[in-house]
Amino acid sequence: MVSALGMTAFLGGCGSTGSSDVTLRLVAADYGDSAANSSQKYWDDLARAYESGHPGVKVKVSVYSWTDVDRKVKEMADAGDPPDMAQIGAYADYADKDMLYKADDLLSIPVQADFLGQLSEAGQLRHVQYGIPFAASTRVLFYNKTLFARAGITSAPKTWDDLAADAEALKAKGVKYPYALPLGPEEAQAETLQWLLSGGAGYTDDIGTYTINSPQNAETFTWLKDELVGKGLTGPVAPGKLNRAQAFSAFAAGEVGMLNGHPTLMQQAAKQGVDFGMVPVPGRNGTPKATMGVNDWMMAFKEPGHKDQIGDFLDFVYNEKNVLAFSREYDLLPVTSSASDVMTAADEDKKLWPFLEELPLAQLYPFGKTSWARVSADVKKDIGRAVGPTGDPTAVLNQLQTTASDAESAQSGS
């Protein structure tokens, strides 16, 4: 990776930065699963490569786990000291407060035109793009072939009933996590959306109105509570306490029969010799309403006032070779057409082709809603209670719906 970044040091963003002796601060999320492949190493290499061609600019990158990074940026912004750039999970609340630069104020035309159209549109608030796509993924069901064979399971599940029956068979053979259900605070909003889609609904309806407490969603979480969690099929850690990273590590350790995962899990499981398969996420009666897609965002704050330098650095970040280096390091999907075209044609990226094919039709979070950051935070905090021993799925979904509706009303009234 270092050599790839080094080669592009002078290929992207070589224009004048308009000033000298500027330090750009970037807060970014960690996509690694250990210190050895922490995103801090990726960003440090990229920053040094950029600085070698731009002696007047320093780039200081602080990387935090997904559990902490959104909160860290919010604390900095609330204190009136936002970073120059943040690479996090939501942008619209900052854009609505007029804290962000528009994408076309920062990026060169070729770079801006290279983003996948669906992702660029998702980065818009009131038809203006503030969120710059950074990394994308879709989800599939991963299953441990060795554990399936031990339990006498001959095919991967296609429906919820199949999944529950397979989980029962795995439990009978002593599998620690027959189905890992990570509804802990790290990424509960993702696991939740996968289940809502597989139940025929989602966070919003077709016109973008929040429908978190729809009858379909209540049925989905009631089924999870009664048929998986209540029957002891989700493992020793309560779903509300189980984070995605923990679930992935357990899968890589051979302790999980099934879980929903994104491409990064392939590398993690393969490193530890797990023989795994991947199939579409099962739906209530078969194929889900839609595949879930996730896109993470880059954004730039106005407050530090380094527009020219930020734009020049971001042009470099989104150089084709740098996008490919990041995507290949973490088994994620590139957000640019040029890098996607390379990966679709390269045999070395063959394992990602199923995910690349799904992305154009995947359903994303309602990123363009200024309320989404608050709603997402509440889902992370509260959704695990819905499937707990004394949990009431309908009550929890009603509470989340009230939060979402209040946030929308406050926005429309501002």
Spatial distance between the Cα atoms of 380 and 67, rounded to a whole number of angstroms: 10
Q: Tell me: pLDDT of 3 over 80.
A: no
Provide the pLDDT for residue 412.
62
Q: Please tell me the chain's helix, strand, coil percentages from 3-state DSSP, rounded to the nearest 5.
A: 50, 15, 35
Q: What is the mean pLDDT of residues 215-227?
A: 98
- The full DSSP string for 155-184 is S---BHHHHHHHHHHHHHTT-SEEE----S
User: With bands split at pLDDT 50, 70 and 90, how would you rate the model's confidence at 96?
Assistant: very high
CATH class of 2-130+294-361: alpha beta
- Percent of the chain scored above 90 by pLDDT? 79
User: With bands split at pLDDT 50, 70 and 90, how would you rate the model's confidence at 128?
Assistant: very high
Spatial distance between the Cα atoms of 307 and 305, rounded to a whole number of angstroms: 6
Spatial contact of 108 and 16, defined as CB atoms under 8 Å apart: no
User: With bands split at pLDDT 50, 70 and 90, how would you rate the model's confidence at 86?
Assistant: very high
Which has more confidence, 359 or 9? 359
Domain ranges for the chain: 2-130+294-361, 139-292+368-413
Q: Which CATH number fits domain 139-292+368-413: 3.90.1150.10, 3.75.10.10, 3.40.50.80, 3.40.190.10?
A: 3.40.190.10
Provide the pLDDT for residue 7.
38
Among the ranges 8-17, 176-185, 352-361, which has the highest mean pLDDT value?
Answer: 176-185
φ, ψ (nearest 5 deg) of residue 128: -120, 130
Taking only the tens place, the pLDDT of each residue in 379-388 is: 999 999 999 9
Spatial contact of 17 and 309, defined as CB atoms under 8 Å apart: yes
Provide the pLDDT for residue 20.
56
Spatial contact of 127 and 157, defined as CB atoms under 8 Å apart: no
Name 297's bridge partners. 88, 133
Which has more confidence, 333 or 17? 333
User: With bands split at pLDDT 50, 70 and 90, how would you rate the model's confidence at 413?
Assistant: low
φ, ψ (nearest 5 deg) of residue 389: -55, -40
CB atoms < 10 A from the CB of 299, how many?
26
User: With bands split at pLDDT 50, 70 and 90, how would you rate the model's confidence at 258?
Assistant: very high
Helix (H) or strand (E) holding 259: strand 256-261
Query: Mean pLDDT of all residues in the chain?
Result: 91
CB atoms < 10 A from the CB of 385, how many?
18
Which residues are CB-contacts of 328 (< 8 A; sequence separation ≥ 6)?
1, 348, 349
Spatial contact of 231 and 168, defined as CB atoms under 8 Å apart: yes
CB atoms < 10 A from the CB of 290, how many?
17
Quote the DSSP letter at residue 206: T
- Residue 403 has which token pair? 């939060």
Do the domains spanning 2-130+294-361 and 139-292+368-413 agree at the CATH topology level?
A: yes
Provide the pLDDT for residue 359.
86
- Listed range (161-165, 169-173, 276-280) with the worst mean pLDDT: 276-280
Q: What is the mean pLDDT of residues 94-106?
A: 96
